[in-house]
């Protein structure tokens, strides 16, 4: 190169000796191009002085050219997606669906986008009222969902099912079982579900209480294979769905989930913890290691638990028969401080949990605080809440106020038809155990006798 710069000529036009010298200056990757008998080929190589080298334009990566028809198709699909995004009320979304119902460019992901948009807008009271008063407005979207169901991938299907369930729950309107059967059949054909798609799909069917055992068995196998990839919310929602429908496919799913949960338990919030424990307790799957680990995590996060989370968690331990005195002690203070936020079910479940383990001596103020709140809210108690509350006070032998039992019996008279045999027996047993004033119980006893005779 230096010789070439001095002579203002190419090194490849020099004597062979110089060319041999330059051979060793070439990089290893370029030496295979060297040929002392072919100067033209060497001169085309990039190894030339910058002053003499011709700048070659960079080659751009070749792209497959789209035809005009393909470009037009893509533009139409993008425009349709933008139109869906621009809708600001339920009526505009459904009018667009009606207009595009037979449009071939309305693909499954557009259908899923429409359901997603409606599920977000329906939280506005005006839009909610429209769907409640005119449920047939959903017909075009339902029809298009049926038409494209066979083309849906896992993402479109899970999104569609999840949003349909949310809309149905919000409007309190059931959708035709035909579409749920079609979605279930299509989902059984797929084996490419992501964890969130499995969770959303089973949650949708559980939310509307739609039994689909074959689908749940299929998705259970998919979940077992991917259980380590689930995050806290997805795995808790999935287990909640199986427990809600009472579908217990095999111990393998809950065993595999328990191991994954324990490893990432620090990522679980209060709702995830309570829902997970409730699921295991409801299906009756024993998992003492999970319950022990969850107790420690719940104690650390007890301040973030709301009334439903606390009552559900305590109920789960009592139902599963797994004692955790430290957790019950930590929860008692939280219950007393937040007792005004507890509804009837939360009150009765909390009392029943402490009474089941006879765990009341370390927190006697808890039963007093709950008694005062139960008296205030007794008109909202159903039959099961009444019987559980009275049974709890009688079981632990805690001196309760006469006012609580009197008001509870009055409420029981109003809801006597809703009592189960077990509920009636528990209520009568409670009255006998606390030696309650028989005169105030006579109306209730008479109605029980009349019900028994009829």
Residue 374, classified by CB atoms within 10 Å of its CB into exposed (0-12), middle (13-18) or buried (19+), is buried
Low-confidence ranges of the chain (pLDDT < 50): 1-38, 41-47, 52-53
pTM over 0.85: no
**Are residues 99 and 141 in contact, defined by beta-carbon separation less than 8 angstroms?**
no
Q: Retrieve residue 318's tokens.
A: 């009592």
Q: What is the pLDDT of residues 277-286, one digit of tens each?
A: 999 999 999 9
How many other C-beta atoms lie within 10 A of the C-beta of residue 44? 12
pLDDT at residue 397, rounded to an integer:
85
- Residue tagged 């998705």 (tokens): 219
Residue 49, pLDDT score: 52
Q: What is the pLDDT of residue 296?
A: 96
Q: How far apart are CA 365 and CA 263, in angstroms?
A: 37
Q: In whole angstroms, what is the distance from residue 422 CA to residue 261 CA? A: 36
Residue whose pair of structure tokens reads 């209730």 in the numeric block: 444
- CA-to-CA dists, residue 241 to 66, 99, 124, 209, 246, angstroms: 45, 36, 27, 9, 8
Q: What is the pLDDT of residues 238-275, one digit of tens each?
A: 999 999 999 998 899 999 999 999 999 999 999 999 99
pLDDT at 61: 58
**Residue 318 contacts residue 357 (beta carbons within 8 Å):** yes
pLDDT value of residue 280: 97
How many other β-carbons are positioned within 10 Å of the β-carbon of residue 225? 12
The confidence score (pLDDT) of residue 428 equals 86
Over the chain, what HEC string results? Answer: CHHHHHHCCCHHHCCHHHHHHHHCCCCHHHHHHCCCCCHHHHHCCCCCCCCCCCCCCCCCCCCCCCCHHHHHHHHHHHHHHHHHHHCCCHHHHHHHHHHCCCCCCCCHHHHHHHHHHHHHHCCCHHHHHHHHHCHHHHHHHHHHHHHHHHHCCHHHHHHHHHHHHHHHHHHCCCCCHHHHHHHHHHHHCCCCCCHHHHHHHHHHHHHCCCCCHHHHHHHHHHHHHCHHHCCHHHHHHHHHHHHHCCCCCCHHHHHHHHHHHHHCHHHCCHHHHHHHHHHHHHHCCCCHHHHHHHHHHHHHCHHHCCHHHHHHHHHHHHHHCCCCHHHHHHHHHHHHHCHHHCCHHHHHHHHHHHHHCCCCCCCHHHHHHHHHHHHHCHHHCCHHHHHHHHHHHHHHCCCCCHHHHHHHHHHHHHCHHHCCHHHHHHHHHHHHHCCCCHHHHHHHHHHHHHHHHC
């Amino acid at each position: 190169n230096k010789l070439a710069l001095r002579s203002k000529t190419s090194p490849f036009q020099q004597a062979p000796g110089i060319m041999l010298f330059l051979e060793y200056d070439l990089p290893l990757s370029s030496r295979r191009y060297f040929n002392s008998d072919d100067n033209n080929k060497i001169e085309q190589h990039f190894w030339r002085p910058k002053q003499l080298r011709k700048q070659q334009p960079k080659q751009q990566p070749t792209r497959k050219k789209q035809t005009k028809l393909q470009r037009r198709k893509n533009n139409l699909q993008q425009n349709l997606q933008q139109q869906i995004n621009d809708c600001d009320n339920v009526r505009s979304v459904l009018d667009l669906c009606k207009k595009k119902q037979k449009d071939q460019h309305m693909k499954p992901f557009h259908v899923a986008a429409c359901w997603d948009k409606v599920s977000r807008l329906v939280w506005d009271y005006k839009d909610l009222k429209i769907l409640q008063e005119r449920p047939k407005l959903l017909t075009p979207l339902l029809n298009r969902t049926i038409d494209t169901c066979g083309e849906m991938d896992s993402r479109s299907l899970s999104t569609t099912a999840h949003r349909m369930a949310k809309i149905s729950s919000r409007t309190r309107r059931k959708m035709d079982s035909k579409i749920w059967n079609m979605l279930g059949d299509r989902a059984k054909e797929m084996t490419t579900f992501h964890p969130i798609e499995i969770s959303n799909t089973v949650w949708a069917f559980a939310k509307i209480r739609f039994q689909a055992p074959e689908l749940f068995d299929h998705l259970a196998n998919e979940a077992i294979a991917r259980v380590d990839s689930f995050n806290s919310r997805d795995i808790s929602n999935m287990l909640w769905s199986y427990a809600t429908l009472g579908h217990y496919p095999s111990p393998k799913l809950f065993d595999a989930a328990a191991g994954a949960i324990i490893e990432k338990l620090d990522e679980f919030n209060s709702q995830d913890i309570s829902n997970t424990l409730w699921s295991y307790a409801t299906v009756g799957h024993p998992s003492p290691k999970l319950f022990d680990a969850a107790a420690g995590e719940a104690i650390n996060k007890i301040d973030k638990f709301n009334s439903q989370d606390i009552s559900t968690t305590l109920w789960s331990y009592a139902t599963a028969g797994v004692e955790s005195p430290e957790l019950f002690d930590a929860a008692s203070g939280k219950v007393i401080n937040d007792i005004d936020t507890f509804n009837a079910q939360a009150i009765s479940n909390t009392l029943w949990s402490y009474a089941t383990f006879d765990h009341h001596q370390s927190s006697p103020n808890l039963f007093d605080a709950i008694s005062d709140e139960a008296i205030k809210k007794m008109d909202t108690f159903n039959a099961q809440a009444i019987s559980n509350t009275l049974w709890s006070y009688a079981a632990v032998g805690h001196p309760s106020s006469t006012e609580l039992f009197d008001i509870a019996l009055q409420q029981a008279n109003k809801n006597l038809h809703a009592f189960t045999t077990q509920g009636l027996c528990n209520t009568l047993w409670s009255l006998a155990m606390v030696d309650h004033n028989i005169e105030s119980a006579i109306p209730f006893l008479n109605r029980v006798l009349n019900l028994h005779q009829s």
